[in-house]
Structure 1
Amino acid sequence: MIGGLWNGISGLNSFEKALSAESNNVANVNTIGHKSDDVSFQDLMYQNGYGKGTNIQTVEKDFSQGNLKITGNSYDVAIDGRGFFLVKEQGTNDIFYTRAGNFKMGSTGTLQSIDGMTVQGIQSLGSTVISTDPNDTQFNNNYDQFIASSTIYNGNDIQTINARSTDFRKTAEDSGVSGQGYKTAAAKMNDIQALITNYKEKLELYSSNPAANPVASVAAVTQVPYGTTINNLNDENDIVQVTINNITIKQKFDTDVQTTMNKFADKISGVQGVIGTVDTNGLVTITSMVPGEDLKVTYPSINNDTSPSVNPITEPVQGSGIGLVTSARDALKNALEAANAKFIDMTTNLDMANQANLVTSDIQLKLDNLNISENGLGEVEIDDGKIFVKDGDNKFIVGSISTAYFNDELSLNPEGNNLFSKTNLSGEPIDATDANKLQGKTLELSNSNLGDNLTNLMVYQRAFEANSKAVTTSDDFLKTAIQLKK
Structure 2
Amino acid sequence: MTQAHFNGVSGLIAFSTQLNNVSQNISNMNTPGYKGKDSFLKDVESNNGMGLGVSYQGTGTRSKNGDSKQTGNQTDLFINGKGYFILKDSKKEIFYTRAGQFKFNEEGFLVDQSGMYNVMGFNGNKLVAININNYESLPPAQTTVLDVNGILSTAETTPYKLNNVNIYDSTGSLKSLSISFEKQSDNTTVGSKWSYTITDEKNKILNTGVINFTLAGTVLEQFLDIELNFDEGKQNLKLDIGGVSVVSVGNSSVQANATDGGPRAGIVGYNFGQDGILEISYNNGQKKKTSQALGLASFSDETKLIQDQNAFFHKPENVKVNYSKPDLEYFGKIQGGYIELANIDLAQEFGNILIIQRGYQASSRVMNVANEMLEQLYNSSRGG
Settle same-fold status: TM greater than 0.5: yes
In structure 1, the gaps of 5 or more residues are 129-136, 148-163, 174-184, 188-235, 252-264, 275-285, 292-331, 346-372
Residue 143 of structure 1: CA displacement? 6.4
Assess, with a 3 A threshold, how the Cα gap between structure 1 residues 402 and 290 changes in structure 2: closer, same or farther.
farther
Residue 47 of structure 1: CA displacement? 6.1
Q: How does 1:232-271 map to 2 (within 5 A)?
A: 248-249=191-192, 266-268=210-212
Query: In 1, are the aligned partners of 2:110 and 2:131 still within 8 Å (CA)?
Result: no
Distance 1:401 1:47 in 2: 54
- Show the counterpart of 1:472: 368
Structure with the higher helix share, 1 or 2: 1
TM normalised by structure 2 equals 0.68
Paired residue for 1:389, among 280, 299, 303? 280
Aligned residues: 303
Distance 2:310 2:217 in 1: 63
Distance 1:450 1:408 in 2: 25
Assess, with a 3 A threshold, how the Cα gap between structure 1 residues 13 and 402 changes in structure 2: closer, same or farther.
same
Q: Which amino acid aligns with 1:63?
A: S
Query: In 2, are the aligned partners of 1:407 and 1:426 still within 8 Å (CA)?
Result: yes
- Show the counterpart of 1:417: 310
Structure with the higher strand share, 1 or 2: 2
Q: What whole-Å deviation, never above 9, does each CA across 1:411-456 have from its counterpart, x for those lacking one? A: 2222222111122111233326322111111111111011111121
Distance 1:335 1:404 in 2: 49
Distance 1:462 1:87 in 2: 42
Secondary structure in structure 2 of the residue aligned to 1:378: strand
Q: Which amino acid aligns with 2:98?
A: R
In structure 2, the gaps of 5 or more residues are 124-129, 147-166, 195-208, 226-234, 240-255
Q: What whole-Å deviation, never above 9, does each CA across 1:364-413 have from its counterpart, x for those lacking one? A: xxxxxxxxx95444311112122111003111112321111111212222
Secondary structure in structure 2 of the residue aligned to 1:447: coil
Deviates more, 1:26-35 or 1:65-74: 65-74
Assess, with a 3 A threshold, how the Cα gap between structure 1 residues 333 and 395 changes in structure 2: closer, same or farther.
farther
- Show the counterpart of 1:300: none
Assess, with a 3 A threshold, how the Cα gap between structure 1 residues 122 and 186 changes in structure 2: closer, same or farther.
farther
- Show the counterpart of 2:105: 106
Q: How does 1:29-178 map to 2 (within 5 A)?
A: 29-45=29-45, 50-89=50-89, 91-116=90-115, 117-123=117-123, 138-140=138-140, 165-166=168-169, 170-172=175-177
Distance 2:143 2:77 in 1: 32
Distance 2:217 2:237 in 1: 15
Assess, with a 3 A threshold, how the Cα gap between structure 1 residues 169 and 377 changes in structure 2: closer, same or farther.
closer
Paired residue for 1:459, among 350, 355, 367? 355
TM normalised by structure 1 equals 0.54
Residue 6 of structure 1: CA displacement? 1.2
- Show the counterpart of 1:288: 222
Q: How does 1:334-349 map to 2 (within 5 A)?
A: 334-335=237-238
Secondary structure in structure 2 of the residue aligned to 1:103: strand
Secondary structure in structure 1 of the residue aligned to 2:101: coil
Secondary structure in structure 2 of the residue aligned to 1:465: helix
Secondary structure in structure 2 of the residue aligned to 1:44: strand
Q: Which amino acid aligns with 1:452?
A: Q
Secondary structure in structure 2 of the residue aligned to 1:466: helix
